[in-house]
Amino acid sequence: MAVVARDARHNQAQKRVADQPAWLKRAMNPNTPTTKNNETVRTVDFTMDGASYIAPTLRMGKDGLRRMSADEAIDEAIRLGDAMKVPEGISPAEYSKSISDMINTARKHRGRKANRSAETQAR
């Protein structure tokens, strides 16, 4: 039973990764560039059809990261369909912060070799 539950969680996690917009996947990749201030993404929030969304104001361009105004970022996200809907119950700022934390964790840990953790030692 535990194996089935673990496989289900793994499949859900893979689906979440597959559903991420290209800008988020890029931001999570430690091999992609950052700004002079070590930024990988900045977001702006907006409301459309009664729902809140976040959109990136930093996008990869031909010459690296390109900073956009809030209006440009919103227009581009709508055009590309890659704005992220903010889940109900949290503010756009909280959602943006959680995305930022996820990016930082992914960039920090990608490519590291696994070592024995407390979890594996307890088994």
DSSP 17-78: HHTS-HHHHHHH-TTS---TT--S--EEEEEETTEEEEEESEEEETTEEEE--HHHHHHHHH
The verdict on residue 11 lying in a domain is yes
Q: Quick one: tokens of 47?
A: 């409301």
The verdict on residue 123 lying in a domain is no
The model's pTM is 0.73
The verdict on residue 118 lying in a domain is no
The verdict on residue 63 lying in a domain is yes
Please determine, for residue 90, whether its predicted confidence score (pLDDT) is greater than 60.
Answer: yes
Tell me which residue range forms the domain holding 98.
2-30+38-104
- Specify whether the CB–CB gap between 60 and 32 falls below 8 A: yes
The verdict on residue 117 lying in a domain is no
| Average pLDDT rounded to a whole number, residues 43-71 | 94
| Average pLDDT rounded to a whole number, residues 51-63 | 93
Q: Quick one: tokens of 79?
A: 């055009």
The verdict on residue 112 lying in a domain is no
Please determine, for residue 15, whether its predicted confidence score (pLDDT) is greater than 60.
Answer: no
The verdict on residue 77 lying in a domain is yes
The verdict on residue 43 lying in a domain is yes
Q: What domain count does the chain have?
A: 1
